[in-house]
Amino acid sequence: MANGFFTDTTLCIGCKACEVACKQWNQLPDDGYHFTGMSYDNTMALGSSTWRHVSFIERPAPIGDADTGGLAWLMASDVCKHCARAGCLENCPTGAIIRTEFGSVYVQPDVCNGCGYCVSGCPFGVIDRNHEDGRAWKCTLCYDRQKDGMQPACAKACPTASIQFGEINDLRHRARERVDKLHELGVKEAYLYGEDAASQPGTEGLNAFFLLLDKPEVYNLPPHPEVPTHKGKKSWISAGLAAIGVTALAFASVMLGNSARE
């Protein structure tokens, strides 16, 4: 069984209840209070103490064929994607990052030694090391709540069902119906991002996927993310060849040197 999120950004009203619920339930500290001027987004990005982040995009283009005065305000609540092939998990050398019984990707704080390799392994820039704490942190998909049969705090708090929690196949089904519905309503640009392996082969699908209205880049999402392990595998082959080459260099140098006159 794998649980996940379906975040339908067309329903998001930018209330940030998810951000607050996450902070409160997980007892995350605040990040200071900044004013960024980036629309209503003063959170800026996901990080070690920010596990939900609502982005605000002021866009000079209408949604669908609705008359919005040529403007549209897109809002989207971002979160760890709990990738089927998770770069953070595959990079972690200590085994701190595990796949839980709920199909989510979980960092065990009592094991992590803060090497930071997961941070560079995530193609979405999600997980981060807290410099004060020394360990890597990210969304746990409310592992503790799920163990007690509850849904994650953000999904519970979301007043518009923009964040939906559930079994991943069930969510996919719901999401596809929603896209069809939106297309019917004239919002032709609606599409799903990362809903399964076919749509995002690089990660083999996201357990937390999205319904978007614009290019992924607009939401600060990568257009074609790929688990870095693919590159690593091929890189080992180069390393092997180079090792043979350097060995040959070493033997050749010794032979050359040995034949030199004293």
Partner 1 sequence: MTEQNSRGSGPKSIGFLTGDTDDGRNIDTTLGTLSGEAASQATLATKHDVVLHSKAFPYVPSSQSQASPSYYNQPLLKQPVWIWSIPAYFYVGGVAGVGATLGAAAQLMAPKSMRSLVIRSRWVAIIGGVISSGLLIHDLGRPARFLNMLRVFRVSSPMSMGSWILSAFSSAAGAAALAPFGPKLLQPLGEAAGVLAGLFGLGLSGYTGVLISQTAVPVWQESYRTNPILFLASGAAAAGSFFEFFRLNARESHAVERFALMGKFLEFAALLVLQAEARRVSRVARPLEEGFSGFLWRAAKLAIIAGIAVSVLPGKSRAKSVVSGVLGSAASLFVRFGVFYAGKASARDPRASFEQQRQLSGRPR
Contact positions with partner 1 (CB under 8 A) in 217-246 = 217-226, 228-229, 231-232, 234-236, 238-243, 245-246
Check residue 58 and give left, alpha or beta (phi > 0: left; psi -120 to 50: alpha).
beta
Contact indicator for 159, 75 with CB cutoff of 8 Å: no
Question: Amino acid identity of 6?
Answer: F
Q: Which range binds partner 1 by CB under 8 A, 3-11, 39-47, 157-165, 171-179?
A: 39-47
Q: Using DSSP, state whether 119 is helix, strand or coil.
A: helix
Nearer to partner 1, 66 or 249 (CB): 249
Residue-wise burial string across 121-154, b where 16 or more C-beta atoms lie within 10 A, e elsewhere? bbbbebbbbeeeeebbbbbbbbbebbeeeebbbb
Q: Which range binds partner 1 by CB under 8 A, 7-15, 118-126, 157-165, 180-188?
A: 118-126
- Per-residue x/- track, 125-164, ligand SF4 (CB under 6 A): -xx-x------x-x--------------------------
Number of residues in the chain: 262
Nearer to ligand SF4, 154 or 182 (CB): 154
For position 122 contacting partner 1 by CB under 8 A, the verdict is yes
Interface residues for partner 1 in 133-192 (CB under 8 A)? 133-137, 140, 142-144
- Per-residue x/- track, 67-106, ligand SF4 (CB under 6 A): -------------xxxx--xxx--xx-x-xx-------x-
Q: Using the rule CB under 6 A, which residue among 14, 114, 166, 222 binds ligand SF4? A: 114
Cβ contacts of 77 within 8 Å, gap of 6 or more: 7, 9, 12, 18, 19, 52, 53, 54, 55, 154, 158, 162, 163
Q: Burial level of 66, CB count in 10 A (0-12/13-18/19+)?
A: exposed
Q: Which range binds ligand SF4 by CB under 6 A, 3-11, 108-116, 190-198, 212-220?
A: 108-116
CA distance 181 to 234: 43
For position 118 contacting ligand SF4 by CB under 6 A, the verdict is yes
Q: Which does 142 bind (CB under 5 to 8 A by kind): ligand SF4, partner 1, none?
A: partner 1
Closest CA to 68 of 219, 190, 186: 186
CA dihedral 1, 170, 153, 211 (to 10 degrees): 130
Q: How far is the CB of 146 from ligand SF4 (least distance, A)?
A: 16
Residue ranges binding ligand SF4 (CB under 6 A): 80-83, 86-88, 91-92, 94, 96-97, 105, 107, 112-118, 122, 124, 126-127, 129, 136, 138
